[in-house]
Amino acid sequence: MAQTLPAVKLKNGEQTFGAAPHERPVPRISIAAFCEFPDTGAALQRAASDRRLAKAHVVVELGGVQAAVDHFNGQVTPNLLIVETKMQGKAALDDIDHLAQVCDPATKVVVIGRANDVELYRELMRRGVSDYLVAPLNPIHLIESIANLYTDRDTQPIGRIIAFASARGGAGSSTIAHNVGWYIAEKLKIHTTIIDFDLPFGTLGLDFNEEPTQSIVDALAAPERLDDTLLDRLLVKVTDHLALFTSPTLLERGYDAEPAAYESVLEAVRQMSPCVIVDLPHVWTPWVRQTLLSADDIVIVAAPCLGSLRNGKAFFDILKPNRPNDAPPRLVLNQVGVPKRPEIPAKDFAQAMGVEPSLVVHFEPQLFGTSANHGQMVVATQPKSQVAEGIARLAEALTGRAPQTSGNKGVLPFFSRLKGSR
């Protein structure tokens, strides 16, 4: 299945990292689609269930242009009307003229046809049609076409969100997420923000030896105020390329931010950070589910035990069908080979899950313990270790990038938008 490429081309031809403007989620609009052929109906349904269209309300009907005309005669038309015509040339144009008589001026129209006909395309555009797509449709192209209608072409790319979750508490997802984030920032020179959403128990500050006075909770409390200035105050800039959004890790109060607040924080951070690493707590709440379903990439970290296997399968069972146009989540098998502990062999684990792990990390208490105690990353302190090499390959696979040998100054003036520097 097609996966969106991490490389995004800017208008000046420069390559940068992030999600392209057309990959932005489609806003809360109403869409009605009237198709003629079953394959178009299937592609529309598949697009409708995509995470980028999660906010849009989509209705798919049969009957093509004529059914749309009958349906909307005397009715208000939706924000976007998608109609399929089986006609060609002049007959197709007559169909669309007919539709124009029932269509509100504010409604955008996308036409689907079978003919790859430039003349027809031009005539449709002249009539104010927003796009003409030639069937059979690829759901991703359809989503792109819709997203383009609601995105200003001059908009800067937004960041890619990579979400990490553990299949079992303590499996190591935070550790892997922080190491991957560090490598992407420092070795791949992609400006990265790591967000710790484990509000009471998160370890991001500890892992990087930082004790900020403000935290992600300040952002969650007032997401509507999150502009560059507030982000500047709340983010901890570790290096030119790496910023942290730490958790408060205080138990004096409970944390009950609105689910929408998590989404707003992510939206704000991805406006200025090409790569956003999200460290999720091991809980299952509506906002965790939503964050995973809407992420650009997902990494599930599991230990080679029965509990991880059961939960890992549950993650894949919910995530795969609900993200039909995305690559499946990646699996990391961590803490393999704990002495004297019986475990499920990696091969059997992979077979039972139906997915090959993207990375297998051995249990290395000395390495991880020392790094944690010094507030350093394994990939930084022991870059030649097998663990660090594995984490580096995972980071490269997630970004589609390899380290550059010299002269790499990064790709976007990212943190330059933030005033403070350390």
Ligand X SMILES: Nc1ncnc2c1ncn2[C@@H]1O[C@H](COP(=O)(O)OP(=O)(O)OP(=O)(O)O)[C@@H](O)[C@H]1O
Residues lying near ligand X in the complex (CB under 6 A): 166, 169-175, 198, 203, 281-282, 301, 334-335, 361, 363-365, 368, 372
Place of tokens 């072409």: 153
To the nearest 10 degrees (0 to 180), the angle between helices 306-322 and 346-353 is 30
CA distance 43 to 24: 20
- Least distance to ligand X, CB of residue 235, Å: 21
Q: Which is nearer to ligand X, 6 or 181 (CB)?
A: 181
Q: Which is nearer to ligand X, 36 or 279 (CB)?
A: 279
- Least distance to Mg ion, CB of residue 278, Å: 11
- Least distance to Mg ion, CB of residue 306, Å: 20
Convert residues 275-294 into a mask of x (bound to Mg ion by CB under 5 A) and - (unbound).
--------------------
Return phi, psi of residue 25, to 5°.
Answer: -60, 140
Which range of residues in 168-176, 204-212, 351-359, 410-418 is near Mg ion by CB under 5 A? 168-176
The residue with its CB nearest to Mg ion is 174
Which range of residues in 60-68, 173-181, 251-259, 358-366 is near Mg ion by CB under 5 A? 173-181
Q: Does 247 bind Mg ion (CB under 5 A)?
A: no
Q: Does 334 bind Mg ion (CB under 5 A)?
A: no
What's the start-to-end Cα distance of the chain, in Å? 43
Q: Which is nearer to ligand X, 350 or 372 (CB)?
A: 372
CA distance 341 to 363: 11
Residue 107's binding partner out of ligand X, Mg ion, none, with CB under 5 to 8 Å set by partner kind: none
Q: Starting from the edge strand earliest in sequence, which strands make up the sheet with 80-84, in order?
A: 57-62, 30-35, 80-84, 108-113, 131-134
**H-run or E-run covering 193:** strand 192-196
- Least distance to ligand X, CB of residue 38, Å: 44
- Least distance to Mg ion, CB of residue 152, Å: 37
Q: Does 308 bind Mg ion (CB under 5 A)?
A: no
Residue from 4, 85, 174, 273 touching Mg ion (CB under 5 A): that is 174
Question: Pairing mode, if any, of strands 236-237 and 242-245?
Answer: antiparallel
Region of 151 (left: φ > 0; alpha: ψ -120 to 50; beta: rest) is: beta
Q: Which is nearer to ligand X, 203 or 294 (CB)?
A: 203
Q: Which is nearer to ligand X, 170 or 345 (CB)?
A: 170
Give Cα separations from 59 to 31, 82, 98, 293 (angstroms): 6, 10, 21, 21
- Least distance to Mg ion, CB of residue 293, Å: 19
Residue 361's binding partner out of Mg ion, ligand X, none, with CB under 5 to 8 Å set by partner kind: ligand X
Question: Pairing mode, if any, of strands 30-35 and 80-84?
Answer: parallel
Nearest to 279 by CA among 231, 339, 328, 216: 216
HEC per residue, 377-406:
CHHHHCCCCHHHHHHHHHHHHHHCCCCCCC
Q: Which is nearer to ligand X, 266 or 302 (CB)?
A: 302
Instruction: Catalog residues that contact Mg ion under the rule CB under 5 A.
Output: 174
